[in-house]
Structure 1
Amino acid sequence: MTTTPAFSWAKDDWASLTEMADGFDEYRPPLSAALAGRRLELRCRVPGEAGTDFTLIHEFEAETLRWTVQDGAGTRDGSETYELFEMQPGLFFLHYRRSGEDHPVVVTMALDTDSGQATGTVGELGLRPEPHLARQRWFQGQLAGTDATGNGAHQRTTELIGHRVRYAYSSDDVYDHVYLNENLFTWLCLGGAELGVGDTDSATYWKLRDETYLFSWLEKNVGVEGMVLIDLAALRTVGIQFGLDQQSGDLVNLTMGAYAQDFGRVPGVDESRPRPA
């Protein structure tokens, strides 16, 4: 039986992000070059915020992409290496860093070329007053040249709430997630560098397809942005962690993948209330 070490809330007592991240790519799905040679234009907005329309263009090559943002402030662009994963036919998970910024900035999204819908975030570190805390700004978009409209955008979901799912990221690193409600989840390390460490953090859930979700969290202690595309039918995931090592201050920006075990759903409170005889 594994002996669990004593728990501490002090983040410097936790394994460093660099140590934690070592080996997290062992079970990561293979990279995809399926979009190489394609130019994809997204008509985007920030969900729920008027006046935030912008255009996001990606021109893919085999290992690099050129991105262009056009909005009310003008046009910005750059060329970056990227990581792309095709988790289901036509359903992609895309991640890249905008290296030309004066602080760490990453773009991460789920892109469905079949439906023409995309949902993602711009994640940032190094912002005052708490530069170690990751921030994220969500956006949604529709592919130009398709029939996709904002009415068909990915929707927030409660379908994961009540589930406990175990994720093996490597032959050593194993974590449980318990999805508590629309805003919170709990994670617990059962194997690996963070053994015995856990916390409850803010969470966001989107439904992409049947039994397929985009799940994201922001850690309040170490400050990580995490995002995972979860395929509960295939019991596979791909995702990212983006943060500053709490001990060295170095940037940790990784992609990862896991095999999942779903232990089922705990009934909601309305299903658990005693009923009159």
Structure 2
Amino acid sequence: MTTTPEFIPVGALGEEFASDSNALEENAGLGGSSLTLRFPGDRVHECTVSGDSTVAWDGREAQARVTSIRAGVYLLDFLVGGAVKESLSLVLDTAGGQATLVAGYLPNAEEASVAALEKARAGSDLTGVRVEILHGTIDGLAGGVPHGPTKDLLGLRNRYRYSPHEVYEHIYLNQDFYTWHCLQGAESGLADTDRCHYIKIADGLYLFVWREKIVPTLGVILIDMERLKTDGKILGYRGFDFDDYVNFRVGAVVDVLNETRH
């Protein structure tokens, strides 16, 4: 008789990822920076980062995590809002003057409980996790190559070792979907195919965003295919009661298992 692997809440996953993590240490390189970020449609955001990684985003303060996977490129991640949180992740290329903003939102309990068949019938995404991805510039800095969608990762099958006890593989199927599979760890045996987005930041450096449909989850990571390293975050609800959020760091060592070209 076979058993069915059980999906766990994101809070429990975060606890498993907390020990012996391969995530990057925080970087102080943005401390004391005040940045004006300009996006299409005359959209402007003001962002100030203090030395203790407190960020002021259009006047709203939050505690942020700042890392740098490659010289001059920073990932700035934080949550704003009250009972309902907005996830904000910024990739800032301070040398090239380019910026990408990922704003993410989790569904509430009612939205997450809508059956997949009903969503399919309505022609909507099966996941209730929503994102807005904007590409823009850092005011006052010299212009580099704009960030934008890419097909560079399609066909790759990568293994990600997040810690000695948490290992996953990703298969990048097409521009809209990828498959994840837990090889070792708290979700061992689980796998699914979910919505995703691929952004090229620089040669060999990519922003990968995914939105899971069964347990509402938002993932935002930078993948450096030259360094074979990733760093980013996972956002979700602490439990299945939708009462509290967790937003925890993740980072992995990368192995390329194979590549398929159709």
CA contact (8 A) 2:223 2:229 kept: yes
SS where residue 91 of structure 2 aligns? strand
The two structures have a TM-score, normalised by structure 2, of 0.87
Distance 1:165 1:37 in 2: 37
The corresponding residue for 1:195 is: 188
CA contact (8 A) 2:16 2:186 kept: no
Distance 1:255 1:122 in 2: 17
Distance 1:101 1:166 in 2: 37
CA contact (8 A) 1:24 1:257 kept: no
Kindly indicate whether residue 11 of structure 2 is the aligned counterpart of residue 18 of structure 1.
Answer: yes
Distance 1:56 1:262 in 2: 37
SS where residue 185 of structure 1 aligns? strand
**Displacement after TM superposition at 1:7 (Å):** 3.4
- Which letter does structure 2 place at the counterpart of 1:67? W
CA contact (8 A) 1:40 1:58 kept: yes
**Displacement after TM superposition at 1:67 (Å):** 1.3
Distance 1:56 1:141 in 2: 11
The corresponding residue for 1:81 is: 63
Decide whether aligned partners of structure 1 residues 256 and 158 sit closer, same or farther in structure 2, where only a CA change above 3 A counts.
same
The corresponding residue for 2:248 is: 254
Higher mean displacement: 24-33 or 186-195? 24-33
Kindly indicate whether residue 116 of structure 2 is the aligned counterpart of residue 123 of structure 1.
Answer: no
1:191-235: CA deviation from partner (whole Å, max 9, x where unpaired): 111000010001110111111100111111111111110001111
CA RMSD, Structure 1 to Structure 2 (Å): 1.9
Kindly indicate whether residue 42 of structure 2 is the aligned counterpart of residue 53 of structure 1.
Answer: yes
Distance 1:28 1:182 in 2: 26
Distance 1:245 1:37 in 2: 32
Kindly indicate whether residue 204 of structure 2 is the aligned counterpart of residue 207 of structure 1.
Answer: no
Flag structure 2 segments of 5+ consecutive residues without an equivalent. 114-127
Flag structure 1 segments of 5+ consecutive residues without an equivalent. 46-51, 69-76, 269-277
**Displacement after TM superposition at 1:190 (Å):** 0.5
The two structures have a TM-score, normalised by structure 1, of 0.82
The corresponding residue for 1:144 is: 139
Superposed structure 1 runs of 4+ greater than 4 Å apart = 126-129
Show the 5 A alignment for 1:30-179.
30-45=25-40, 52-63=41-52, 64-68=54-58, 77-98=59-80, 100-127=81-108, 130=111, 133-148=128-143, 152-179=145-172
- Which letter does structure 1 place at the counterpart of 2:151? T
Structure whose CA Rg is larger: 1
SS where residue 12 of structure 2 aligns? helix
**Displacement after TM superposition at 1:90 (Å):** 0.3
Kindly indicate whether residue 3 of structure 2 is the aligned counterpart of residue 6 of structure 1.
Answer: yes
Show the 5 A alignment for 1:209-224.
209-224=202-217
Count of residues paired in the alignment: 243
Kindly indicate whether residue 244 of structure 2 is the aligned counterpart of residue 266 of structure 1.
Answer: no
